[in-house]
Amino acid sequence: MMMNRPVRVRFAPSPTGPLHIGGVRTALYNYLFARKHGGKMILRIEDTDSQRFVPGAEEYILESLKWCGIEIDEGVGVGGPHAPYRQSERRDLYLKYALQLVEAGWAYYAFDSAESLDARRKEAEEAGRAFAYNHEVREELETSLRLSKEEVEERIARGDQYVIRFKMPVDEIVKMDDLIRGHVEVNTSTLDDKVLYKSADQLPTYHLANIVDDHLMEISHVIRGEEWLPSLPLHYLLYRAFGWQDLQPEFAHLPLLLKPTGGGKLSKRDGDKMGFPVFPLFWTSPTTGETARGYREDGYFPEAFINMLALLGWNPGTEQEIFSMQELVEGFSLDRVSKSGARFQPDKAKWFNAQYMHHKSNEELAAIYQPILREHGIEVSDELAGKAAGIMKERAQLVTDLWDLTSFFFVAPTTYEEKQAKKYWKGENPRILKEVRDVLASIDDFSLEHTEEVVHAWIQEKGYGMGQVMNTLRLALVGAGKGPGMYDVTAFIGKEECLKRIDNLFENLTPAE
Ligand code: GLU
């Protein structure tokens, strides 16, 4: 790829709700590309569609990027030489560009009322067609293509609402190059005349604001979702209309994230149905109060989440699956982004998280686990928190699994799993457990190894069944048939607590005959 200008990429979300994981992946690929080429990553908030603006969405986007470790070099929240980076704060600058296009014959005023356009739409529908505002009809409509200059000026002066539309050329082939899709051609006659600017709110539409800002912000590469590919011919033509072709960015359209079942774009509904989040963070809608799950709150590590997303659409060309952000930066290239959609696999997301979980040191686990312990009212040293999580980490996939897997280290059971109790709290087991209690009470060095040695020797001497004894002891100490090796538990909770839990079992549960 030719790199004859400084790499400057942008992530340009619209604050219309929580950021979908597809959007996070777009941000990630931009970030990896920028870092790989020593370029800049810009965050621009495209909030010119006041109808779709959702309060809190921008904050959500910023927090999501931060959680993911996607750093912004310039943009909203950071500043930079092209500030402001929020389009609503740049509103005054766009009209000039729209007028420049009108002046040059690339755009025109349109005064059609919503009612007259609705009527047209209806008429077309009745005739079995779809209405398109295009070269076939524009001469008949209320536009500056038909009205005299004076009429147009008069209508604007008296405050008539108008839009400025792009005048799509007729029957011309637009030849485009996409870094992922290759060469694409489209005949302009298939395209309609998009609105660029609206007088009603004095705001540009996405197309105008996006092109003007990409140009002013000296963007070198536009990396965005496939849903914007249909807009590419218009964007090419806008660069031409402004005379900015020489500095036109290169384009790369990323494949869609597909449903786990294949066909169609991954949606929140799929997540709800199959029990996985499609957003990075938990979200509460400020208008409806509706909530959506997030990867962070569901117990995923940001590194695992990013690793998983990176591989949804990009492949490193090797078997390697675990990548740190730095390794992703080094390995990333747009050549290895696939053209076809990437199917999202919720189990694979969990698998990635488990890999990261298994590699965490006790210190790291302590930092993650302490807040959860505190939520449960448990105050322990970092050492114990890390140790408990460390003993069980191989069985954990998510951070949220840790409490269920390790709570017995910190809280004595008061209830007992029925199945386990039925099976072991009967016959001669209560009597044997009393004996085990005496053996434990006699041990001074309560280390894992020593306790194991003494108890095992005693079991053998007595000729008791190992499983029988251990499972009864487990019932007393854990309250269920789960948990790590028994001596991990005895060593962790210590002698006094062991004896107490054995006594508790006798007090809490009457053995069956
Ligand atoms: N504001 C657009 C979005 O929400 C940006 C598309 C683009 O990157 O050009 O996705």
Q: How many angstroms does the Cα of residue 96 sit away from the middle of ligand 1?
A: 22
Amino acid at 433: L
Report the nearest atom of ligand 1 relative to the CA of 14.
4
Q: Whole-angstrom Cα distance, residue 451 to residue 453?
A: 5
The finding on whether 16 has its CB within 6 A of some atom of ligand 1 is: no
Q: How many angstroms does the Cα of residue 211 sit away from the middle of ligand 1?
A: 11
Q: How many angstroms does the Cα of residue 434 sit away from the middle of ligand 1?
A: 70
Q: CA-based angle 300:301:303, to the nearest 5?
A: 135
The finding on whether 13 has its CB within 6 A of some atom of ligand 1 is: yes
Report pLDDT for 45. 98
The finding on whether 19 has its CB within 6 A of some atom of ligand 1 is: no
Residue 116 has phi, psi (to 5 degrees) of: -65, -35
Residue among 72, 47, 54 nearest 62 (CA): 72
Q: Whole-angstrom Cα distance, residue 510 to residue 425?
A: 8
Report pLDDT for 2. 47
The three-state secondary structure class of 102 is helix
Q: How many angstroms does the Cα of residue 222 sit away from the middle of ligand 1?
A: 10
The finding on whether 313 has its CB within 6 A of some atom of ligand 1 is: no
Q: How many angstroms does the Cα of residue 11 sit away from the middle of ligand 1?
A: 8
Q: Whole-angstrom Cα distance, residue 264 to residue 343?
A: 9
The finding on whether 224 has its CB within 6 A of some atom of ligand 1 is: yes
Beta-bridge partners for 265: 258
Q: Which residue's CA is the nearest one to ligand 1's atom 10?
A: 13
CA 22 to chain CA centroid, nearest Å: 7
Report pLDDT for 263. 83
Contact 423, 471 (CB under 8 A): yes
Tens place of pLDDT for every residue, the chain, 513 residues?
445 799 999 999 999 999 999 999 999 999 999 999 999 999 999 999 988 999 999 999 999 999 999 999 999 999 999 999 999 999 999 999 999 999 999 999 999 999 999 999 999 999 999 999 999 999 999 999 999 999 999 999 999 999 999 999 999 999 999 999 999 999 999 999 999 999 999 999 999 999 999 999 999 999 999 999 999 999 999 999 999 999 999 999 999 999 999 889 999 899 989 999 999 999 999 999 999 999 999 999 999 999 999 999 999 999 999 999 999 999 999 999 999 999 999 999 999 999 999 999 999 999 999 999 999 999 999 999 999 999 999 999 999 999 999 999 999 999 999 999 999 999 999 999 999 999 999 999 999 999 999 999 999 999 999 999 999 999 999 999 999 999 999 999 999 999 999 999 999 999 987
Report pLDDT for 186. 98
Q: Whole-angstrom Cα distance, residue 425 to residue 505?
A: 9
- C-alpha distances (whole Å) from 176 to each of 88, 179, 190 are 30, 10, 15
Q: Which residues contact 45 (CB under 8 A, 6 or more apart)?
A: 12, 13, 14, 15, 58, 61, 75, 76, 85, 86, 87, 88
Q: Whole-angstrom Cα distance, residue 218 to residue 224?
A: 16
DSSP at 190: G
The finding on whether 451 has its CB within 6 A of some atom of ligand 1 is: no
The finding on whether 210 has its CB within 6 A of some atom of ligand 1 is: yes
DSSP at 168: P
The finding on whether 26 has its CB within 6 A of some atom of ligand 1 is: no
The finding on whether 14 has its CB within 6 A of some atom of ligand 1 is: yes
Q: How many angstroms does the Cα of residue 86 sit away from the middle of ligand 1?
A: 13
Q: How many angstroms does the Cα of residue 339 sit away from the middle of ligand 1?
A: 19
Give the residue, out of 87, 210, 217, with the most ligand 1 atoms within 8 A of its beta carbon, to mutate for a pocket test: 210
Known catalytic residue at 265: no
The finding on whether 64 has its CB within 6 A of some atom of ligand 1 is: no
Contact 500, 465 (CB under 8 A): no
Among 66, 265, 268, 348, the active-site one is 268
Q: Whole-angstrom Cα distance, residue 500 to residue 141?
A: 88
Q: Whole-angstrom Cα distance, residue 329 to residue 30?
A: 10
Give the residue, out of 46, 231, 265, with the most ligand 1 atoms within 8 A of its beta carbon, to mutate for a pocket test: 46
Report cis status (omega within 30 of 0) of the bond before 280: no
